[in-house]
Amino acid sequence: MIRLKYSIIWALCLSLFIFPLAAETENPEPVKSEIISPEELNELPPLQDTVIPPENQNENEPQEETENPDFQEDEKTESEDKEESEDSEEDLDLFPLVSEYRDYPEVVAWRNYYLSSEKRIKLLYDILEYAMEYRLFVRKTVQDRELPGELEYLPVVESGYKTSAKSRSGALGMWQFMENSVKPFLTLNEYVDERLDPWKSTEGGLSKLQDNYKIFNDWLLALGAYNCGVGAMNKAIRRADSRDYWYLAENGFISAQTKDYVPKLIAIADLAVNAEEYEIILPDHNEEFEMLVTERDGLFDYVTVQKPYSISAIAREMRMDEKQLKKLNPALTKGFTPPATKYSIRLPVGMKETCENVISNLQPIEFPFQYKVVAGDSLWSISRKFGTTVQAICDTNGIQENAILKIGKILYIPSK
């Protein structure tokens, strides 16, 4: 009887405990969510400044070291994440303009312009794939000079990486130099046009950009000035009383072409560098950059001459493909070296001695226009006699305009 009483009491206590618990489980109270306003969101501290404490950790309680295989795997993952993070930070360092401006509306618009069309992405792919031969050298030169990595993609905007590209305004070559902007970066005369030389013009183009940066101390302005000219950019800055490229662009102080020039470059660089993020395929040529040392470093042999030698004749005597030799020396617009100034013929590595032997037995071209200086001659009188300019005679013969002419000196006269 007593045992029965205790059983009833125990059952009643148990029911009082279980039923409320079950009721809470079946009908939980809804949790209220807090909606943060934009104003409150702006007041929150930056994520990188927010410290998230370990879960269920007592600050004052020392943590025991435990041997756990899972913990070792997590540690490996963290190490890999750290390496990826370092690689990502390194990429940002190499491409500072993409890092800083990729989310600007003007850049986003150009990025979407390409992403919205498979045809445009295909065009960009073809340009970058075609560019490999010279792109490796451009990338190496940019890195050696410690310049923004985005400059590797400037020839994409300028010329599609075509070495003989010519604009309607007369700009020529991979880096699109105008005749009046060549000096002091490149040589241009009747026999030599280094705008057509991808190696020389790369050095010249980057030097010009570095000069622009020294003037403006801002890469956006330096790039804009490469497009419109230093004078035009300075004028825009004075009129706007601002050195903010985006302000100049938005308020019409620079031309529409220059306004689009910089964001288009940044967008193309962003697409190329972050192709995986945008789920597109663009050639990066990273493997080739590591393997093709000759192309990357621009390694060649050179033979210097000071007489007019035919490139075709040199190739023929060397038993070398004529097209290949001309491709290595595209600045020689007439197919032969200058008649009176030094010129270094570019050759494949290992062919210098062969070329020297050939030239030692090769007859120079008999120049059609030669003039022997007589008493009373001046550069001006000679230029008038042959219908050319003093500057053209000086460039052809490698002399200065104020040079004193010796009687009997042979001058090579450029054609009219």
pLDDT of 339:
86
**122 Rama sector, left if φ>0, alpha if ψ -120 to 50, beta otherwise:** alpha
Rg (Cα) of the chain, in Å, rounded?
35
- Strand boundaries in 173-213, DSSP class E: none
Contact (CB, 8 A) for 227 and 258: yes
pLDDT of 91:
56
Q: Please identify which residue in the block is written with the tokens 């025991």.
A: 64
Contacts of 109 (CB under 8 A, 6+ apart): 263
pLDDT of 397:
75
Chain centre distance of CA 46: 32
pLDDT of 18:
39
| Helix then strand then coil, % of the chain, to nearest 5 | 55, 5, 40
Contact (CB, 8 A) for 393 and 413: yes
Cα separation values, 135 from 74, 104, 249, Å: 40, 27, 29
Contact (CB, 8 A) for 350 and 387: no
Q: What is the pTM of this model?
A: 0.72
Cα separation values, 354 from 255, 307, 329, 347, 348, Å: 52, 18, 17, 10, 11
Q: Please identify which residue in the block is written with the tokens 């801002």.
A: 218
pLDDT of 265:
98
327-338 burial, b for 16+ CB within 10 Å, e for fewer?
ebbbbbeeebbb
pLDDT of 392:
79
pLDDT of 414:
75
**Parallel, antiparallel or unpaired: strands 410-412 and 370-372:** antiparallel
Packing angle between helix 390-397 and helix 379-386, nearest 10 degrees?
Answer: 100
The token pair at 11 is 């059952």
How buried is residue 264: exposed, middle or buried, by Cβ count under 10 Å (0-12/13-18/19+)?
buried
Contacts of 59 (CB under 8 A, 6+ apart): none
pLDDT of 334:
85
Q: What is the pLDDT along the chain (416 residues), one digit of tens a residue?
A: 444 444 444 444 444 443 343 333 333 333 323 322 333 323 323 322 322 223 333 333 333 333 333 333 344 445 555 555 445 455 557 899 999 999 999 999 999 999 999 999 999 999 999 999 999 999 999 999 999 999 999 999 999 999 999 999 999 999 999 999 999 999 999 899 999 999 999 999 999 999 999 999 999 999 999 999 999 999 999 999 999 999 999 999 999 999 999 999 999 999 999 999 999 999 999 999 999 999 999 999 999 999 999 898 899 999 999 999 999 999 999 889 998 889 999 999 999 999 999 999 998 877 667 899 999 999 999 999 888 888 878 877 767 888 889 999 888 887 65
Neighbours of 262 (CB within 10 A): 29
Contact (CB, 8 A) for 367 and 412: yes
The token pair at 280 is 């597109």
Contact (CB, 8 A) for 382 and 371: yes
pLDDT of 130:
94
